[in-house]
Amino acid sequence: MHSVHNRRIADVTGRVQWWAAAAGQLLWPLACEACGRAIEPGGEGLCEACWQGLLSCTAGSYCRACGLDAGSFGMLEDGCARCRERRPVYDGIARAGVYASTLRDLVLAMKFHDRPELAARLAQWMEAALAAAPFAGRLDAFVPVPLHWRRRLARGFNQSFLLACRLARGRAPVNTDLVRVRHTPSQWTLSTTRRRGNVAGAFAVRRDHDFSGRTLCLVDDITTSGATLNECARVLKQAGAAAVYAVVAAVAMQDTD
Ligand SMILES: [Zn+2]
Ligand SMILES: [Zn+2]
């Protein structure tokens, strides 16, 4: 009698658990981190289409000096054709891919749909890019591109800081002594020429902080014209940095933004 009763309880509990799981799947089905479509359990965060998209936007070869696609001009020892026209202030760059497809979806979801946890996913590919970069082994610190406090307050986090924390693990510390002293309109809204003027004087190094002789790596989610990275590198070099490199999740091509 007792055991029948127990079995009934077990039955009911089992059924309740099953319904709870089923309802959970309906309410919170496993969703692709990039596009939100339902995915099979074990899909490792992305749907099949988004994995394909990711492969396509991380596959191309790029100029290690400026980060733009190597293109049909090929590579020269010290950069591409564009680099020779306008040398970046930073000394080299590693990128996970181009700002398109899955990388773009992830960056947008992280920043504008309040998904800071996606920094972990993006940092994975940035780590792979960084590991292949010649400067990876000689960094003294990772410096996230700072947000103005007003924007950080509105968003709740600085995505570059989150990415830097991930990349720093087991490598070098994160240094937040580069600050944004001026609130500027978002770079995406401006033309290339206006972007340069937009960030001029926007950054500064905290008072009394010395970067003398240090090798630094700027961290940002995307770079479009390189204007922000250049301005940050300029300020850091002025503060004594020996070399300033950069690592980004995505480089936006001029004609895609
Ligand atoms: Zn997807
Ligand atoms: Zn280049």
Distance (Å, rounded) from C-alpha 95 to C-alpha 88? 15
Q: Which ligand has an atom closest to residue 52 CA?
A: 1
11 lies in a domain? Answer: yes
184 lies in a domain? Answer: yes
123 with 152, same domain?
yes
Does residue 221 have a pLDDT over 90?
yes
155 lies in a domain? Answer: yes
Could you tell me the distance, in angstroms and rounded to a whole number, from the CA of residue 37 to the centre of ligand 1?
6
217 with 108, same domain?
yes
Q: Does residue 4 or residue 113 have the better pLDDT? A: 113
The pLDDT assigned to 67 comes to 93
137 lies in a domain? Answer: yes
Give the model confidence (pLDDT) of 51-102 as tens digits: 999 999 999 889 999 998 886 656 666 788 888 888 999 999 999 999 999 9
15 with 86, same domain?
no
For residue 150, CA distances in Å to 120, 147, 180, 254 come to: 24, 8, 10, 28
Distance (Å, rounded) from C-alpha 203 to C-alpha 89? 15
Distance (Å, rounded) from C-alpha 218 to C-alpha 160? 9
Structurally, the chain folds into a number of domains equal to: 2
246 lies in a domain? Answer: yes
111 with 16, same domain?
no
Give me 234's structure tokens. 């300029």
pTM of the shown model: 0.84
Q: Which ligand has an atom closest to residue 40 CA?
A: 1
144 lies in a domain? Answer: yes
Give the model confidence (pLDDT) of 182-215 as tens digits: 887 777 667 777 777 778 889 999 988 889 999 9
Could you tell me the distance, in angstroms and rounded to a whole number, from the CA of residue 105 to the centre of ligand 2?
25
2 with 111, same domain?
no
The pLDDT assigned to 84 comes to 82
Q: Which ligand has an atom closest to residue 85 CA?
A: 2
Give the model confidence (pLDDT) of 7-18 as tens digits: 666 666 666 665
The pLDDT assigned to 133 comes to 94
Q: pLDDT-based confidence at 24, cuts 50/70/90?
A: low
Q: Which ligand has an atom closest to residue 37 CA?
A: 1
23 with 85, same domain?
no
Could you tell me the distance, in angstroms and rounded to a whole number, from the CA of residue 45 to the centre of ligand 1?
8
CATH number for position 88: 3.40.50
Q: Which ligand has an atom closest to residue 73 CA?
A: 2
42 lies in a domain? Answer: no
172 with 73, same domain?
yes
Q: Which residue segment(s) compose the domain that 15 sits in?
A: 1-30
12 with 130, same domain?
no
The pLDDT assigned to 81 comes to 82
